[in-house]
A and B are shown apart, each in its own frame.
Chain A
């Protein structure tokens, strides 16, 4: 009589296993990066408007920071004075000026190179960094009056890219260059309270606060799914689905997964969304008239659609486009059109309809800003940080993300080396309210930090790695802003 077999020959248990319910997610997106549609979107303006509005909007905060720091600054008995125009500095006079940084780098992509490329046979390979090895890079400060070159041993220690607004203290030397002694940036803007916007909107309607603010769960963040429809080996993505739906592992993991209230997909869900053929490819391809079925492969978007539709009945999703997704190339990338997702469409708003509640499937812009469980979240698909990476010497992505927040610019290099819409009335890339969480997707590896600001602001920075390479899913606890990593991997017998 073997007891082990009796275990199987039993009547159904009378244990009552309770149904696990997912924690609800409170969601209130902002339309900061939405562009006008159709004929209302104009391109006849020039990028000078964008630089002008950026300087005009950030000049006052920088001047305040600089005035506080340098008002009573003395070197050799001389006090620093503020000079209004960049070109009005006098030689030997200790002063401080405010302007836009411009990095003159010979290895930066130049439109003239594009034109001369037509005469060459092969294009040079794209560079990882624009910094030139022998100090040919020049840093200049620019405003409406003109540009002045910045020098000094203070500069190499600073992280600077084209487009950030800074105040520099120093003097003009004999060569006509500005010798920098100190540098100040606008630093983090004012941070709203958690649930601040929710309370102001609720109070506008009714006065009772009895429902209060619900207990928040966790937000799952993933980026770089890289679906290309070709491979049969998508086991990691399937494991991710099972984990999020609570189908995998044991009861403890399922309870943990039930606490996940939202999924944020931060870009690059499709690996080859908009192949822009290079000049050589176009010349090589024979001209075909009409619809060329070999040019478009619908498999990746279908696969992504089915994947998201499997998750949607149980989990709300915010989908950001990335560099390789079928959205527009220039920032801010507009939301992926619901026409791409025939199954997920049922969960999203009809295009053109606007309501307070965005629905469970929210296709968002890149970059994106919104309130999730009361916290202000700023998310980006990674192109902005990757571009800043090319300008600076270091490798630390978190440091670059911190600098971007302190410069108050989501995309500092925007019109220069990052394609962008020409904003005319105000530069939409300026961060006016400090987020609580800053998420950047498609980074080479996972990293996180908490930075602090001068007025007590605290921001959680998260660099999300590519899921295709690392198999990592980030869980952000929305109560205390703590971060966990869940790694999906295949056991391979070597």
Chain B
């Protein structure tokens, strides 16, 4: 072993600094090999995605043994409490802009007038009509409210454009501006959700699924 060096007692004492090492195999920074930045949440440890509970919000500081409840409600709590990803943030901004536009405009547009007049019974009738059009009964929709079912059908209607990356209200406005005559019942449901300040309802469900970091590719 090399003899121990005497530290020089000068104004700058070099012994206080540990030796810097470059080209070291033990890198301090992780190599960035992740598939997309949207999946990165730097503060979260990598755990088994099946344990959804372990990825619950910051202020809970969850232990892996937290009770497993409905997956959707956990995602919802997490979405609201942790800082949103770029896509979520953009859709939230779109939703808020739509609400601000509605609030600022002294009078609502004619289609909004019609939408506010649409009663719950009409929405139920609309939904029954849509259900009758499909040959097979709908599966996996038992736990959803009528509003959510109407909105999911709205997402899946391809003639109004892609539903990913755009808030549902904005998509309705875009379809209306292009003259595609989107159903006014959907606007009625969206206005109700907007009044309740339910920003979660503005993002399409498939958008959440497609950009979810639970996707192991």
Q: Is the CB of A45 within 8 A of B166?
A: yes
Q: CA–CA, A49 to B158, complex, Å? A: 11
Complex: chain A residue closest to B88, CB-CB: A44
Max chain A C-beta neighbours (<10 A), residue from B158, B161, B164: B161
Q: CA–CA, A49 to B170, complex, Å? A: 12
Q: Is the CB of B174 within 8 A of A53?
A: yes
Q: CA–CA, A42 to B167, complex, Å? A: 13
Q: Is the CB of A44 within 8 A of B165?
A: yes
Q: Is the CB of B165 within 8 A of A52?
A: no
| Interface status of A46 (Cβ within 8 A of chain B) | yes
Q: How many residue pairs bridge A and B at CB < 8 Å?
A: 42
Q: Is the CB of B90 within 8 A of A60?
A: no
Q: CA–CA, A44 to B92, complex, Å? A: 12
Contacts A144-B158, A144-B159; A45 near B178 (Cβ below 8 A): no
Shortest distance in angstroms between A64's beta carbon and chain B's nearest beta carbon?
13
| Interface status of B87 (Cβ within 8 A of chain A) | yes
Shortest distance in angstroms between A308's beta carbon and chain B's nearest beta carbon?
38
Shortest distance in angstroms between B191's beta carbon and chain A's nearest beta carbon?
20
| Interface status of A57 (Cβ within 8 A of chain B) | yes
Contacts A49-B162, A52-B161, A144-B158; A44 near B86 (Cβ below 8 A): yes
Residues of chain A within 8 A (CB-CB) of B170 are: 425
Complex: chain B residue closest to A84, CB-CB: B159
From A49, A60, A145, B166 is in contact (CB under 8 Å) with A49
Residues of chain B within 8 A (CB-CB) of A56 are: 161, 178-180
User: How many A residues, CB 8 Å from partner?
Assistant: 16
| Interface status of A48 (Cβ within 8 A of chain B) | yes
Residues of chain A within 8 A (CB-CB) of B158 are: 144-145
| Interface status of A424 (Cβ within 8 A of chain B) | yes
| Interface status of B177 (Cβ within 8 A of chain A) | yes
Q: CA–CA, A424 to B175, complex, Å? A: 11
Residues of chain A within 8 A (CB-CB) of B87 are: 44
Residues of chain A within 8 A (CB-CB) of B164 are: 46, 48
Which residues in B have some Cβ–Cβ distance to A below 8 Å? 86-87, 90, 93, 158-159, 161-162, 164-166, 170, 174, 177-180
- New contact pairs (12) apart from A44-B165, A56-B178, A60-B179, CB-CB < 8 Å: A45-B166, A48-B164, A49-B161, A49-B165, A49-B166, A52-B161, A144-B159, A145-B158, A424-B165, A425-B174, A426-B174, A426-B177
Which residues in A have some Cβ–Cβ distance to B below 8 Å? 42, 44-46, 48-49, 52-53, 56-57, 60, 144-145, 424-426
- Across the A-B interface, give the 10 residue pairs with the lowest CB-CB distance, nearest first: A45-B165, A52-B161, A56-B178, A44-B87, A48-B162, A144-B158, A44-B90, A42-B90, A44-B86, A425-B174
Would you give 17 A-B contacts (Cβ < 8 Å), ordered by A?
Answer: A42-B90, A42-B93, A44-B86, A44-B87, A44-B90, A44-B165, A45-B90, A45-B165, A48-B161, A49-B161, A49-B165, A56-B179, A56-B180, A57-B178, A60-B179, A424-B165, A426-B178
